[in-house]
Structures are given as structure tokens and as C-alpha cells.
Structure 1
Amino acid sequence: MDQLRYPIGKFKYDQTSGSREITEWMSDIDRLPDRLENAVLGLSEDQVKTRYREGGWTVKQVVHHLADSHMNAIVRVKLLLTEENPEIKAYDEKSWSELRDNDLPIEVSLNIIRGVHKRWVRVLEFVSKEDWDKTLRHPENGEMSLKLLTAHYAWHGNHHLAHITTLKERKNW
């Protein structure tokens, strides 16, 4: 069950990570829109309504969640870069996943993800070495640096992408 929930493993962060890891995380963020689109390409409406595991989200909910989450991510990054240790707001992912916009076609969220990721990577490309250590305060996770946020969101995209790709493998789609 844990393998279905965390197909790439739980998030791990090494505080000694440097420029090589940052480049890898930025690449993961940059490539996610194409990889996600390829993963859902050709799936039928019944297939996108399939849960990746019992009690988990449907493929459609995963895609919409990624749009919601990564819209929040770029706002958090911009707040972190333009304010002194800002406190951000958490949000209830489960409740967001149940709102009516989640019945829209996945293409709507794929377009959001493509645009958000393009802008997000552009911002990250011009971050100074010092700014990677700037922080924000998350109400549940405490103080988080830009480096930690970037690592987490790179993992987050790959994590949910793996929910879809491993489901496809199991179902032989």
C-alpha cells in the first residue's frame, strides 16, 4: 500500500544540497508539464476517473491538484523573494479537490501547469546564490528556505506523475 501511495518514496531533503541539485530540481519543474501531458495523452474519460489507489485521487483529481498546488507554489516563491520571511497560508487540498472546477477537463489544468511552470522556472533562473537561503514561514511546516521549497515541489510533481504512470503500468494502458 505504501508503494502505491509513495511510488518514488517519501520526500527527503539534504540541507547540504548545492547548485547541482538545484539545477536538477529546476529541470524537474521545467519538464513536468511535458511529462504530465505525455502521461495522460490518449486516456479515456473512464480512465481519468480511475483512482491510482484505493482511497486515493482519480487521475483527473491528481492533475487538477497539481495545478492548484503549483499555482500556490509560484505565489509562495514570489512572496519569499520579495518580502522578509513572509508567513504563507496553508490550504485544505482535500476540500479544494472536491470543488466544482475539478469536473472540468484535465486540459484546463494542463494549460495552467504549463504556464505556471514556464514562469516559475524563469523566476528561479535568476535567483541569486544568497536568495536560495531566504525563508518563509509555513503554518504547519515552519521555516522553509527557497532551496527546500524547490526540492519539495520538484519531488511533488514527480510523486504525482508517478501515481499516474504506475497506474497505467498496473492497468496495462
Structure 2
Amino acid sequence: MLKKPESNEYAPYYEKYVSSVPEGDLLQILDGQIKETMNLVKGLNEDQAHFRYAPEKWTVKEVIGHITDTERIMSYRLLCVGRGEKAKLPGYDDNEYVKTGQFNRFSIKELLEQLSHARQNTIALLKSLDDEALLRSGNANGTEVTARAIAYIIAGHELHHRTLIKERYIGAESFGGTH
């Protein structure tokens, strides 16, 4: 079973993500998480899916698009680091990705299909990495990170945003309707 990474295996910024992942089989956690996130938002109507809890914040659709983009990027990093890539992997501007992703033009169903496919690919990739590969480190966004840390960051990132969707979106008085 994949063990949680040590704090020296990732940048301090990611501590909030890694520490939020519960103990247990990470593959099962990743599979269960995606189902919880999908169940949380699949029944939203269009008004709810376009809700922003503050004027400058993303819509629910944009949050789902962001989770998917980040999963894809982190999964690519997981592949590179796990395979021993020596080149430095670039960072990305998540606000720019959301802006150019135009996620509001998609239905919630379409966005959740993309998220589900991204997660299935992440799980398949993780299953292909042995213990040695998971302990390899590489440079992503200017910091050293191990492959197993990236796997936990993926899980923690989704959990972070699901919590925000529950609390700041669905939990907002002005959200509209019940879910």
C-alpha cells in the first residue's frame, strides 16, 4: 500500500492537500473521492452550476474544470517523475487555464465525464508505478517532489475543492434551490 509522503517530498504549499488525505489505500481513496464529487454536483441546475459565491470567484463549472485540468497536469508530472524525467517541469497559471478553458459552455454532465476520465487515467497510471518509481523525485514548478507526493497532492486538491463547493457554493444562502 502506498504510504503518505514525508514533508520533505513536496513543497510546503502542498501540505494542506497531503495532510487532508485520509489514511488508507490511496487507489481506493481516489476512486471513492471522484464518486463523492460527482454525486455532489451532478444534480445541479444551470443557475446553480453558474453560481459564484463572490463576483471574482469561479463558477461551480469552472471549479470542476479546474479540478480536471489540475488532475491532468499533476498526472503528467506523476508520469514524468515516476519515469525518471530529469528536465524541470513547468508550472501553470490556474486562473489563466480557467479563463481560456471556457468551462461554462459545457454541461455539468460533460465536465464530470472529463473529470471521471482524468481520474481513471490517474488511477491506471498509479497502478503501473512500482515502489521504486513512486519514490523517485523530480522538479516540478521549481521544487523537488516525489511521485508518491504528487499522487497525494492530486487526492488532496480534489478534496479541497469539493469542500469549497459544499461550504461556499452549495452552502451559500444565495445558492438557489436545494441540492
Query: What are the within-5 Å matches in structure 2 for residues 80-91 of structure 1?
Result: 80-91=81-92
Secondary structure of the corresponding residue to residue 98 of structure 1: helix
Q: Which whole-Å CA distance do the structure 1 matches of 2:84 and 2:131 have between them?
A: 17
**Structure 1 length as normaliser, TM-score?**
0.78
Count of residue correspondences: 157
Identity of aligned residues (%): 20
Secondary structure of the corresponding residue to residue 144 of structure 2: strand
Q: Which whole-Å CA distance do the structure 1 matches of 2:101 and 2:154 have between them?
A: 25
Instruction: Summarize deviations over 1:81-113 as a string: whole Å, max 9, x none.
Output: 223344212111101111153222232221111
Q: Counterpart in 1 of 2:45?
A: 44
Contact 1:52/1:163 (8 A) holds in 2: no
Superposed CA RMSD: 2.4
Instruction: Summarize deviations over 1:92-147 as a string: whole Å, max 9, x none.
Output: 1101111153222232221111112112112212422222211120234x000012
Pairwise CA distance, 1:40? 0.9
Aligned with residue 16 of structure 2, among 8, 11, 14: 11
Secondary structure of the corresponding residue to residue 99 of structure 1: helix
Q: Counterpart in 1 of 2:147?
A: 146
| Structure 2 residues without counterparts, runs of 5 or longer | 1-14
Query: What are the within-5 Å matches in structure 2 for residues 58-137 of structure 1?
Result: 58-99=59-100, 101-102=102-103, 103-137=105-139
